[in-house]
Amino acid sequence: MSIRDQIAPLEELSALDVDLKRVEELLEKHTKGLSGMRSEVKELEDRVKVDRETVTSMDKTKNELMSELRQMTQQIERSREKLSRSRNERESNAAQREMEELRKLHRDREEDLERLSSAADAAKSAIEDAEKKRAAVSSELDGSADGIATSMSELTADKKRLSELRARAVARLPVALYRRYESIRTRRPVAIARTHDGTCNGCRIAVPPMMFQKMRRQEEFEQCPMCRRILYYVPLEASPASQPDPSR
C-alpha cells in the first residue's frame, strides 16, 4: 500500500478519534453530574440522620438537667427552712453554706441547660436547612435524570457507531503505522499533521529542507522534529481546511 493510499484512512482515523474523545467526555460529564447529585443527596440524608440523633441525645440531657434543677430547687427550699429553724450560730452557718452551694450548683446547671438549648436550636436549624437543600437537589435530580439518561443513550449509540467506523479505518492501515499512531496519541490527541510548504500544520514549525524534499516524494511517513506528529506531504490544491489544532 502506497503512502497516498494510507493517508485517507489515517486522516479518517484521526477525525474519528477526535469525535470519540468528545463523545466520551460528554458521557463522563453526564455520569459525574448524576453521580454527584446522588452523592450530595445521600450526604445530606446522612447529615440529617446524624443531626437528628444528636438532637435526640440533647433533648434527653435537657430533660435530665431540668429534673435535676427541680430537685435542687426543692433542696434549696429545705435548706431555707433549715436556716429559719436553726437554733444556734453553728446550725445557721451550716444551713447557709449548704444553701449557697446548692444555689451555685443550680446556676451552673441553668448555664449548662442554656448552652445545651442553644446547641439544640442550632442543630434543629441545620436539619431544616439540610432538608431544604436535599429536597432541592432531589427535585433537580428528578427533573434532569430523564433528559440526561436520554442524552447518554444517544451518546452511547454514537460511541458504538464511531468505534465501529474506527475499527474499519484501523483495518485499512499497516499494523506498524497504527502502532506508531497510537504511541503518539498517548501524548497528543491529534497525532497527525500535513504540510504542503515544509511547515508542519500541527505546530507551525518549518521542517529541515532535506526532510521536506524526501516527504514530497511520498516514499514514507516522517515525524515532525518539534511536535513529533506523523507528518506527510499533501499538495496545496489537495489540502482541505481540516488541519490539527496546534494547541492539541
Reported as a single tens digit per residue, the pLDDT across 57-90 is 999 999 999 999 999 999 989 888 888 888 888 8
pLDDT in tens, the chain (248 residues): 788 899 999 999 999 999 999 999 988 888 888 788 888 888 888 988 999 899 999 999 999 999 999 999 999 898 888 888 888 888 888 888 988 999 999 999 899 999 999 999 998 998 998 888 888 888 777 767 777 778 888 999 999 999 999 999 999 999 999 999 999 999 988 999 999 999 999 999 999 999 999 999 988 899 999 999 999 999 887 555 445 554 44
Q: In terms of pTM, does the model score above 0.75?
A: no
200-215 tens-digit pLDDT: 999 999 999 999 999 9
pLDDT of residue 247: 44
Question: In Å, what is the CA distance from 220 to each residue of 32, 169, 179, 223?
Answer: 44, 19, 15, 10
- Cβ density class 30-53: b for 16+ within 10 Å, e for less: beeebeebeebbeebeebbeebee
CA–CA dist 181, 5 (Å, integer): 16
CA–CA dist 23, 1 (Å, integer): 32
CA–CA dist 214, 146 (Å, integer): 56
One-letter identity of residue 204: R
Question: In Å, what is the CA distance from 216 to each residue of 9, 167, 180, 222, 235?
Answer: 19, 29, 21, 11, 9
Cβ-based neighbours of 200, under 8 Å, separated by 6 or more: 193, 206, 207, 224, 226, 227, 229, 231
E runs forming strands in 137-221: 192-195
Question: In Å, what is the CA distance from 219 to each residue of 5, 181, 213?
Answer: 12, 18, 11
What does CATH list as the number for 19-171? 1.10.287.1490
Q: Where are the domains of the chain?
A: 19-171, 175-238
CB of 20 closer than 8 Å to CB of 156: no
CB of 158 closer than 8 Å to CB of 2: no
- Cell 529542507 sits on residue: 209
